[in-house]
């Protein structure tokens, strides 16, 4: 019986991952068409959307804390990216959130969203979701720590920037933001895709134009990764002045100064050039996805959150 449940859970997990990848690729199209595969932004618990009401929060978290940590996943992922690899079946996966709950008494909330939507749109939705969480939370919140992996970091910055007066209720509680493998200076892979698309469409041939058009179908969320900020807004995304910001980056090579590590970063994202005034920690030999569930990265997050 348990084996069947585990097998079904695995199938459901893979199906959820497939839907998340699809959302990353063409999520804006799915949203526009009202397709039921489009993911609506929500907090997830045990793979299901969490209802934001006092009773639901009390039932889900028997021991609530005035300190919250919000985990925002990256492009083409969902909240399962935070799970440490488990050798045995665990009803609730071990994540940075559950470890922060155990070690520093944080209450963790993992966001799941459509990564194909423009980053500015996801930022606005996150700002509204956090407003609703603060309104429903059964006790006074003293501290909010925002943790974003990859695109999630950009969504966090966008949420802090886009919070309107009526959605700002949570902003004063944000004490720190931790960006893990976030392409603040843009992602090279998307720059390459942009260049390839432009070249293919410029060649006066039906076939190359067709391939270029197909490549250009990629979502607005993907295209926003080119500069590491919403393409529609002129200026760069500001950093929330009242919070402390930490960048945790990985490199493919054990030696972060190695030319390959400097050139390819963590395989998808390079260490941003302009990190002046921001605390940056580099994890040699940790690739992009592994940054979301790595023991050394967690130790660093714990130290940051503990103020050590």
Partner 1 sequence: MEKATIGKLRGLNALVADALDAGVTRTEQIHRTIAQRPYAVLKRISPVAAPVRTVEFVETTISGMVYWTIRLATRAGGGAVAHVLKQLDADAPLEKNHK
What does the binding site for partner 1 look like in residue numbers (CB under 8 A)? Answer: 15, 19, 22, 26, 30, 33, 35-38, 45-46, 48-51, 56, 59-60, 206, 210, 213
The span from the CA of 254 to the CA of 261, in Å, is: 8
**Secondary structure class of 299 (helix, strand, coil):** helix
Sheet hosting strand 107-112, strand order edge to edge: 48-49, 42-45, 107-112, 67-72, 143-149, 174-180, 244-251, 279-284
Q: How far is the CB of 35 from partner 1 (least distance, A)?
A: 5
CB closer to partner 1, 77 vs 174:
77
- For partner 1, give the closer residue by CB, 10 or 35: 35
Q: Which is closer to partner 1, CB of 38 or CB of 160?
A: 38
Helices of type H across the chain: 2-32, 54-60, 96-104, 119-136, 151-162, 188-202, 206-215, 220-224, 259-264, 295-306
CB of 34 to partner 1, least distance (A): 9
**b/e map 129-144, b = 16+ CB within 10 Å:** bbbbbbeebeeebeeb
Closest contact distance (angstroms) between CB of 284 and partner 1 is: 40
CA-to-CA distance for 163 and 168, rounded, in angstroms? 5
Can you tell me the distance from the alpha carbon of 282 to that of 230, in angstroms, rounded to the nearest whole number?
Answer: 26
CB of 222 to partner 1, least distance (A): 17
Contacts of 123 (CB under 8 A, 6+ apart): 154, 155, 156, 157, 158, 159, 160, 161, 162, 230
Nearer to partner 1, 79 or 161 (CB): 79
Residues 179, 246: contact at Cβ < 8 Å? yes
Nearest CA to 135 out of 169, 172, 175, 171 is that of 169
Nearer to partner 1, 46 or 308 (CB): 46
Q: Would you say 38 or 159 has its CB closer to partner 1?
A: 38
Minimum distance from CB of 88 to partner 1 (Å)?
A: 24
User: In angstroms, what CA-CA distances link 155 with 73, 89, 179, 221, 270?
Assistant: 9, 31, 10, 10, 18
Comparison of 50 and 240: residue with beta carbon closer to partner 1: 50
Q: How far is the CB of 197 from partner 1 (least distance, A)?
A: 16
Task: Indicate the residue among 46 and 166 with the shorter CB distance to partner 1.
Answer: 46
Q: Say how far apart CA 245 and CA 25 lie, in whole Å.
A: 29
- Location of structure tokens 């990985």: 250
Query: Least separation, in Å, of the C-beta of 54 and partner 1?
Result: 12
In the complex, least distance from residue 81 CB atom to partner 1, rounded to whole angstroms: 20
**Smallest distance, partner 1 to C-beta of residue 302, A:** 28
Taking the least distance from each CB to partner 1, the nearer of 27 and 186 is 27
């Amino acid at each position: 019986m348990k084996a069947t449940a585990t097998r079904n859970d695995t199938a459901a997990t893979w199906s959820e991952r497939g839907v998340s990848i699809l959302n990353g690729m063409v999520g804006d199209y799915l949203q526009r068409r009202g397709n039921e595969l489009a993911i609506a932004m929500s907090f997830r618990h045990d793979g299901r959307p969490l209802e934001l009401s006092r009773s639901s929060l009390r039932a889900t978290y028997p021991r609530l804390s005035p300190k919250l940590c919000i985990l925002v996943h990256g492009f083409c992922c969902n909240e399962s990216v935070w799970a440490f690899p488990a050798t045995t079946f665990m009803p609730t996966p071990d994540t940075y959130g559950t470890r922060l709950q155990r070690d520093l008494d944080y209450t963790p909330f993992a966001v799941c969203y459509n990564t194909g939507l423009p980053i500015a749109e996801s930022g606005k939705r996150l700002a509204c979701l956090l407003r609703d969480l603060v309104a429903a939370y059964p006790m006074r919140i003293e501290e909010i720590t925002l943790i974003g992996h990859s695109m999630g970091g950009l969504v966090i910055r966008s949420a802090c920037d886009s919070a309107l007066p009526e959605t700002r209720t949570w902003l004063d509680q944000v004490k720190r933001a931790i960006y893990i493998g976030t392409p603040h200076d843009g992602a090279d892979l998307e720059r390459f895709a942009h260049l390839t698309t432009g070249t293919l469409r410029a060649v006066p041939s039906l076939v190359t134009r067709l391939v270029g058009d197909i490549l250009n179908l990629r979502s607005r969320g993907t295209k926003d990764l080119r500069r590491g900020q919403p393409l529609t807004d002129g200026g760069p995304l500001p950093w929330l002045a009242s919070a402390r910001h930490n960048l945790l980056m990985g490199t493919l090579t054990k030696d972060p100064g190695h030319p390959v590590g400097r050139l390819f970063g963590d395989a998808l994202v390079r260490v941003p050039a302009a990190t002046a005034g921001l605390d940056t920690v580099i994890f040699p030999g940790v690739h992009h996805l592994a940054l979301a569930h790595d023991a050394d990265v967690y130790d660093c997050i714990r130290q940051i959150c503990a103020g050590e």
